[in-house]
């Protein structure tokens, strides 16, 4: 019986024929199954003798079927791949053209504008150490920003001997940790002028918030830096970005743990055909957070706050794109809808330049 079954398995020319052999041997009424049922009526001595033989037959048949099935599936796949060919010389049904996502376009615009002001682009890890993301930025342990419902935490790294937490990491909630890394890299004795665009993560989702979004952080460290330098920098940036000379700013006192004093930056807007348009002074719209770098943050970065001063600012890149290009829902940025990208996307040849227009 064993040789007969193994021969039938090897002779199976296709998956259907192999399945028929399997049913004949191992199905509910299969020959091997019937043999297994006889074990219950045997004496202990007979079961001890016949059991290994019958179970060995079942294992041999099952192994042979699995091996033959793998061979037949490989042959079937090879035949399918050989038959399913595409003639790449045929013309496409529609012209294919890649477009630049608005977020990528705005990042390029920011880099172009701030490069003209002498800023370099800095980057940092998206999986960030808790110290860089919170502690070094003067964010206390009790601050709401550290709450689990706002921050994506990774499992703590624990010392196996003592059970003490040795490291805590998070998906960074802002690009501000790049400030600390840039200051440490500068050694505490060199002026800094950087922007840090990148992805950030918070547990939030609605028309104006998404779990993953983009921010740009700006940092200037030097001797004799004042709020006047901050205001001029942001005013120059916003005029270049929105490509309007009638940009009016308002600095409104606020609070951020990492700056002191802190200020929200409002930009004036006008109402055109019932819609808000940046420029003019019919009303005010918040666009940026900013302030003078806190002494504690300077010290964490290795700078003497009695010698060095600085300012920092930050805003959402997605929000900047919405304000400039007339988008009304932040979630559409991440839906992957080609129709949306075709409407709002940019030609790959429209590279932002200050001479040609950053919103080309």
Residue 190's pLDDT band (cuts 50, 70, 90): very high
Lowest pLDDT segment from 234-248, 252-266, 321-335: 321-335
**Residue numbers of the domain that contains 26:** 2-83
Please say which residue of 24, 49, 83 terminates a domain.
83
- Position 123 pLDDT exceeds 90: yes
Q: Are residues 171 and 309 in the same domain?
A: yes
DSSP three-state, residue 271:
strand
Q: Are residues 114 and 208 in the same domain?
A: yes
Q: Are residues 254 and 128 in the same domain?
A: yes
**Which pLDDT score is estimated for 342?**
85
Number of domains into which the chain is organized: 2
332 belongs to a structural domain? yes
Q: What angle do CA 32, 37, 41 make, to 5 degrees?
A: 135
Q: Are residues 307 and 167 in the same domain?
A: yes
**Which pLDDT score is estimated for 92?**
63
User: Residue 155, Cα to own-chain centre: how many angstroms?
Assistant: 19
93 belongs to a structural domain? no
Q: Are residues 8 and 110 in the same domain?
A: no
**Which pLDDT score is estimated for 256?**
92
With the CA atoms of 199, 202, 208 and 210 taken in that order, what torsion angle do they form, in degrees rounded to the nearest 10? 70
What CATH number did the domain enclosing 303 receive? Answer: 3.30.930.10
DSSP three-state, residue 70:
helix
Count the Cβ atoms, other than its own, within 10 Å of residue 316: 21
92 belongs to a structural domain? no
> What's the CA gap between 236 and 3, in Å, rounded?
88
- Summarize the confidence of residues 130-157 as an average pLDDT: 83
**Which pLDDT score is estimated for 360?**
54
> What's the CA gap between 102 and 6, in Å, rounded?
63
Q: Are residues 196 and 327 in the same domain?
A: yes
3 state SS for 6-38: HHHHHHCCCHHHHHHHHHHHHCCCCHHHHHHHH
> What's the CA gap between 358 and 351, in Å, rounded?
8
Q: Are residues 164 and 234 in the same domain?
A: yes
Q: Are residues 109 and 64 in the same domain?
A: no
Q: Where do we find the tokens 């918070």?
A: 202
Q: Are residues 133 and 216 in the same domain?
A: yes
């Amino acid at each position: 019986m064993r040789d007969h079954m193994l021969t039938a398995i090897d002779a199976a020319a296709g998956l259907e024929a192999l399945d028929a052999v399997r049913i004949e041997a191992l199905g509910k009424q299969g020959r091997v199954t019937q043999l297994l049922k006889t074990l219950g009526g045997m004496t202990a001595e007979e079961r001890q003798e016949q059991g290994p033989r019958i179970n060995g037959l079942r294992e041999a048949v099952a192994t042979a079927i699995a091996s033959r099935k793998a061979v037949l599936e490989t042959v079937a796949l090879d035949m399918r791949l050989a038959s399913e060919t595409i003639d790449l010389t045929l013309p496409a049904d529609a012209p294919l053209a890649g477009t630049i996502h608005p977020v990528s376009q705005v990042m390029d615009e920011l880099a172009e504008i701030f490069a003209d002001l002498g800023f370099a682009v800095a980057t940092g890890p998206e999986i960030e150490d808790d110290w860089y993301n919170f502690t070094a930025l003067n964010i206390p342990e009790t601050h709401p920003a550290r709450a689990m419902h706002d921050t994506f935490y990774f499992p703590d790294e624990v010392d196996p001997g003592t059970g003490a937490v040795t490291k805590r990491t998070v998906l960074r909630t802002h690009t501000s940790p790049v400030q600390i890394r840039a200051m440490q890299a500068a050694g505490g004795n060199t002026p800094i002028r950087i922007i840090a665009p990148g992805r950030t993560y918070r547990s939030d989702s609605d028309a104006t918030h998404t779990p993953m979004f983009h921010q740009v952080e700006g940092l200037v460290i030097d001797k004799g830096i004042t709020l006047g330098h901050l205001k001029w920098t942001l005013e120059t940036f916003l005029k270049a970005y929105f490509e309007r000379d009638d940009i009016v700013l308002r600095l409104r006192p606020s609070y951020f743990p990492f700056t002191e004093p802190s200020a929200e930056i409002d930009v004036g807007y006008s109402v055109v055909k019932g819609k808000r348009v940046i420029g003019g002074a019919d009303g005010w719209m918040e666009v940026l957070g900013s302030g003078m770098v806190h002494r504690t943050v300077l010290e964490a970065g290795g700078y003497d706050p009695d010698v060095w001063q600085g300012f920092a600012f930050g805003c959402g890149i997605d929000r900047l794109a919405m304000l400039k290009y007339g988008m009304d829902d932040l979630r559409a940025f991440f839906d992957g809808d080609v129709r949306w990208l075709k409407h709002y996307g940019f030609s790959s040849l429209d590279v932002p330049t200050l001479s040609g227009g950053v919103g080309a």
